[in-house]
Amino acid sequence: MFRILSIICLLLALQACKEPVQKAELESFVVKNVIHPSNNPYNKDKVELGKLLYFDKRLSLKGDTNCAICHSLEIQNSETSSVPRNQIHKSVAPPLTNVALYKDVFTDPQANDLEEIVKERVHTALMLKDEKTIVTRLNQVAEYRDLFEKSFGSPGITMDRIVKAISAFERTIISKNSKFDRYVMGEESALTPSQKRGMDVFMNKAKCNQCHNGPNFSDSTQHTTGLKGITQKIRTPSLRDVSKKNEFMHNGEFTKLEDVVNHFVSGGSKGSIEDPLLKPAAITEEEKKDLIEFLKSLEGESHPLEMPKIPRA
């Protein structure tokens, strides 16, 4: 993963381009940074299988919830659910967009890869802890037996394969083709004058790139949040699609992007844990507005995920 400064160098090299690059090349700007591990290589069939499992409620204890209910996506034809997210997650359930771009996964220092986290989440109180029961349920579905054999090259449904398929699918949930992506790939007009000024504030006066860097705008490192009463460090979240959110910080402390900007520009809340990277920034109200406009430029194209047809037993 390269840092934002590398992106700016790329921008300078591409400023002579007059024609926008092809969409496939724009997509590769983000996609090429997704790394599929050698023990779980990408293949289309496995991803499609993982998508089915991601939405299949048979992976839950009572058959009433699934991964998608908590880790909200732009879903078409989805069912509503009253399952509180914090029954599974101790805090706000994180979105999985761009999870494959993080150097690590979520905030668990003991987790080595996405597969490990997926397995742990399937073993929560609301989901199903009993591997034998999960495998038995899926083995009763002929279509699943065929899909697992097609995806992995041999017959057999195991927890390891279930986890690998879900992980493979989650690595395809990415935000791409944002205005910012188009700009750094040579489309000068992709950003407004305000957004270009905001990028300068982001890089220099506000120094947001100290933590929010790389293609995912996250250093994947844990830092203090500047929130009063919060002692633990939290992994830097991605800023891609940040303008789509309706709650911010790991605990949902803020509901407006403007409040988040004010919080960090002020150097955090009074009485919060001090951090050398969290210092007040001397920027004007107009520069704050430009910074927010730049953050809006990180919003990727909307690709609603259609609810798949779950195989029947």
Query: Residue positions in the annotated binding site for heme c?
Result: 67, 70-71, 208, 211-212
Of 41, 96, 91, give the one whose Cα is nearest residue 67: 96
Beta pairing, strands 75-76 & 305-306: parallel
Could you list the residues known to form a binding site, using ranges: 67, 70-71, 208, 211-212
Dist. CA 57–CA 62, nearest whole Å: 8
Return the percent helix, strand and coil in the chain, to nearest 5: 45, 5, 55
User: E strand or H helix at 76, and its extent?
Assistant: strand 75-76
Cα distance from N-terminal residue to C-terminal residue, the chain = 43
Of 85, 49, 82, give the one whose Cα is nearest residue 67: 85
Cite the beta strand spans of 162-290 per DSSP E.
222-223, 234-235
CB 75 within 8 A of CB 150: no
